[in-house]
Structure 1
Amino acid sequence: MSYPRPKLISLDAFAKTVEDARIKTTSGGIITLVCCLVALMLIRNEYIDYTTIVTLPELVVDRDINKQLDINMDISFLNLPCDLVSVDLFDETGDLKLDVINSGLEKYRLVKRDRRPPLEILDDQPALKRDLSLSEVCKGLEENQQGECGSCYGALPQDKNQFCCNSCAAVRRAYAQANWQFFDGENIEQCEKEGYVSKLRERINGKEGCRVKGTAKINRVAGTMDFAPGASMTKDGRHVHDLSLYQKYEDSFNFDHIIHHLSFGNTPTFTAKGVSESIAPLDGHQFLEHKKAHINNYYLKIVSTRFESLDGKHKVDTNQFSVITHDRPLAGGKDDDHKHTLHARGGVPSVAFHFDISPLKIINREKYAKTWSGFVLGVVSSIAGVLMVGALLDRSVFAAQQAMKGKKDL
């Protein structure tokens, strides 16, 4: 008695063989073990890939372009007293901020000790105040509570007592306003009385340095932060400095410096591997060439960046930047290292940071390298691929064994 065959039998893609028709071999067992080991390794790799956290960047238009940007800096000038360091900030909008010390930045005296290498003998001393503006220091007689009007030595009109220089800082600013050379304030009564001249000479003879650190704000447009010697002034439409004291001591001053830290915006607590170096690439940079009449330029390309954590709870906005360094002598001429390069002539000995702000923003989001469905698909594909390759290998080995056995029987 025969039974009707089910209709789905003709669709079976997995044909079976009876147990009696199966032949088990030693080579098949070895191949099976190897396939199992390979499959386990592939599954392990899939799991590692599934649990790995990666950072995926996305480029968008920066909508915070109208907000001001923070500059975080910590720079040491090893051979320049704080009395000579002037920090100016200007950009393409036409804004000019003269001597931005105490607008987020502060100066610290660096005093050298004996019997130690120069790079290890720097100690922070109390911060020095910035030069005040002309309106703050050169007050008229009616604003002077003491009823005295100090001489400005012809630098400002005083026929109607509209300006009164009652301090050394006032005389120094008046000289800068008149584009006069101030030197060290010698023979100026206000400076001699305040002890400015003696203190300044003591610091120069002691070969003091200066450390500038803190945070300042800039507009998100191209601009320059300039570290130069002497008071700032404008002459014939150009931004210049009083170099009288800097040039008076030929062997005492230069702009050797160490950049301990320079960054823009906040510092994230979590970053992708390799990205943290682009947030502060100048950290630890040194320029120790002992060149007095020299200009150091740093050209910075800044890109706004956001980091978002895996759970979405932490979002930090910061900035990455790349930098190109360039220095040249004020005398110009051919470059010592590149004979075909001709440097321009002129300028002011200084260290200048020229920054250019990108209108785009990079958003870095932390994510798992694979989804759950991708992990399952990877595991199934790994197992299926190993079994298929193992089956082909086993058939090839079995066929070879049978061929060799047939030749022996002959």
Structure 2
Amino acid sequence: MAKKGSVFRGLRQFDGYAKTLDDFRVKTTGGASGKYKNCEINAFIELLNYVPVTIISTLIIITLVCSEVLVYTTPHWKPSLVVDKSRKEKMPINFNITFPNMPCHMLNVDIMDAMGGHSSGYSQDVTKVRLDLDGVPVDLGESVTLEPATECGSCYGANALREDGCCNTCQEVREAYVKMGWGMVDVKEIDQCVREGWLERFEKQSNEGCNIHGHLLVNKVRGNFHIAPGDAFQTSTMHVHDLKEFSAGAPDGHKFDLSHTIHKLKFGPDSKDETETILAVTDALAGVSKAAGEGRAVFQYFVKIVSTRLFPITGIPTLTNQYSVTQNDVEGAKGGLPGVFFMLEISPMQISYKETRKSFSSLLTGVLAIIGGVYTVAGLIDRVVYRAEKAYKKKVELGKTL
């Protein structure tokens, strides 16, 4: 049986890192951090000798390894494009818009879509805040306390669509007229409106503005929602607003206009996640202001919406929507309905962002590659410097230098 020592000695022939004797190793000042002090050497060689190859290479290795560790510990988002499977779901819309020159009672929100959905005077989850000329809230609204009606109030000929045929308030009369397609009533001639002080309210609030904000829920199909003056009603297939008050102007003679500032317009949950804000453009119209001149004005925002889903490493996936906008403003549009229109177009695709992090094996591979690469390059540079220095010293000894 062969001795154990001879077996291990036989393994030496497979050593890929043959060792040289210390007697044959040469340590140079350039390879470490020193300076070769010889006033006769060439400036180029002197410059090279100033280079502390080992120290510089070590610093480079430390810097690159730290950057590799930073990349490993910092997750990144990987985007992909898939088919949107949530088209049958409702899409929430969160908005906040201020009209400095329009009283709240004259503004209405209407929703229309390609599926035939139509909602005029949408008020659910919508809040109107009256503002003074300085933009300070006046109050959250006002209520009128009425005595219970003892008899059926007249609808002034518009009671055909009322189940009980009675209109006991001014609002009920106005709604009955809208449903009949007759336009708005003259509040001076309606007893309910006179009793509730509608004319006095119109005169009192004519010099106010309005902040309108809230939450809408719409179908994920092509459509629009708009904010326009006057109550809306349908005549055959046409969507019409009664613009009597808007066209007549305020009792003191000043004209209303649709100048506005969009504070927020987001499609999807009203989230304040910073990651969502960085990855997706979810509030592209925030801060947009428009000034309307004299006469009617139509402000159109053509919005293209893309569903976006975020999959974080930890936590619950988030569904939101990002969008791009094309704007079109028409001043003095005599034939069009004045208002602020948001034309919605829904993309059939969805952008998916998945948060990922490099594996530990990738980190280990990168660190070893950095150490080996920098060490090899530094060795080549040191070898070149050493040979150049040695050749020059030999010429000096032979007296062949200038």
TM-score, normalising length from structure 2? Answer: 0.83
Query: Paired residue for 1:45?
Result: 67
Counterpart contact for 1:309–1:365, Cα < 8 Å: yes
Counterpart contact for 2:108–2:230, Cα < 8 Å: yes
Find out whether 1:85 has 2:130 as its counterpart.
no
Bigger Rg, which one:
2
Structure 1 counterpart of 2:396, one-letter code? K
Q: What is the total number of aligned residue pairs between the two structures?
A: 367
The offset of 1:183, in angstroms, is 6.7
Where do 1:299-310 residues align within 5 Å? 299-310=302-313
Query: Paired residue for 1:110?
Result: 131
| Aligned partner of residue 26 in structure 1, secondary structure | coil
Of residues 108, 120, 123, the one that matches 1:98 is 120
CA distance in 2, matches of 1:48, 1:320: 30
Find out whether 1:350 has 2:372 as its counterpart.
no
In structure 2, relative to structure 1, the CA distance for the partners of 1:17 and 1:79 (3 Å cut) is: same
CA distance in 2, matches of 1:172, 1:255: 23
Of residues 348, 352, 355, the one that matches 1:359 is 348
| Aligned partner of residue 278 in structure 1, secondary structure | coil
In structure 2, relative to structure 1, the CA distance for the partners of 1:401 and 1:157 (3 Å cut) is: closer
The offset of 1:108, in angstroms, is 1.9
Q: Which moved more, 1:274-283 or 1:185-194?
A: 274-283
The offset of 1:179, in angstroms, is 4.0
Query: Paired residue for 1:19?
Result: 22
CA distance in 1, matches of 2:128, 2:362: 57
Alignment gaps of 5+ in structure 1:
113-117, 130-143, 332-344
Of residues 378, 387, 404, the one that matches 2:392 is 404
- What whole-Å deviation, never above 9, does each CA across 1:328-375 have from its counterpart, x for those lacking one? 1244xxxxxxxxxxxxx721110011111222222222222x221111
| Aligned partner of residue 175 in structure 1, secondary structure | helix
Counterpart contact for 1:79–1:255, Cα < 8 Å: yes
Of residues 193, 196, 199, the one that matches 1:197 is 199
CA distance in 1, matches of 2:294, 2:274: 38
Find out whether 1:146 has 2:150 as its counterpart.
yes
CA distance in 2, matches of 1:352, 1:184: 28
The offset of 1:13, in angstroms, is 3.1
The offset of 1:60, in angstroms, is 2.1
In structure 2, relative to structure 1, the CA distance for the partners of 1:54 and 1:161 (3 Å cut) is: closer
CA distance in 2, matches of 1:364, 1:151: 57
CA distance in 2, matches of 1:356, 1:288: 26
| Aligned partner of residue 182 in structure 1, secondary structure | coil
Of residues 318, 328, 331, the one that matches 2:330 is 328
In structure 2, relative to structure 1, the CA distance for the partners of 1:5 and 1:98 (3 Å cut) is: closer
Query: Paired residue for 1:243?
Result: 243
| Aligned partner of residue 262 in structure 1, secondary structure | strand
Query: Paired residue for 1:187?
Result: 189
Counterpart contact for 2:152–2:167, Cα < 8 Å: no
CA distance in 1, matches of 2:321, 2:95: 14
In structure 2, relative to structure 1, the CA distance for the partners of 1:354 and 1:47 (3 Å cut) is: same
Aligned-residue RMSD, C-alpha: 2.7
The offset of 1:242, in angstroms, is 0.6
Structure 1 counterpart of 2:288, one-letter code? H
Query: Paired residue for 2:291?
Result: 288
CA distance in 1, matches of 2:301, 2:163: 45
- What whole-Å deviation, never above 9, does each CA across 1:291-342 have from its counterpart, x for those lacking one? 441101111111222223322x3322222222222211244xxxxxxxxxxx
CA distance in 2, matches of 1:9, 1:295: 88
Query: Paired residue for 1:226?
Result: 226
The offset of 1:73, in angstroms, is 1.2
Structure 1 counterpart of 2:188, one-letter code? E
Counterpart contact for 2:109–2:120, Cα < 8 Å: yes
| Aligned partner of residue 75 in structure 1, secondary structure | strand
Identity, in percent, stands at 32
Alignment gaps of 5+ in structure 2:
1-5, 33-51
- What whole-Å deviation, never above 9, does each CA across 1:247-293 have from its counterpart, x for those lacking one? 01173211111212111221345343763661112222221344441
Of residues 247, 253, 256, the one that matches 1:253 is 256
CA distance in 1, matches of 2:375, 2:163: 100
Q: Which moved more, 1:11-20 or 1:388-397?
A: 11-20
| Aligned partner of residue 164 in structure 1, secondary structure | coil
Counterpart contact for 1:181–1:243, Cα < 8 Å: no
TM-score, normalising length from structure 1? Answer: 0.82
CA distance in 2, matches of 1:273, 1:147: 57
In structure 2, relative to structure 1, the CA distance for the partners of 1:225 and 1:6 (3 Å cut) is: same
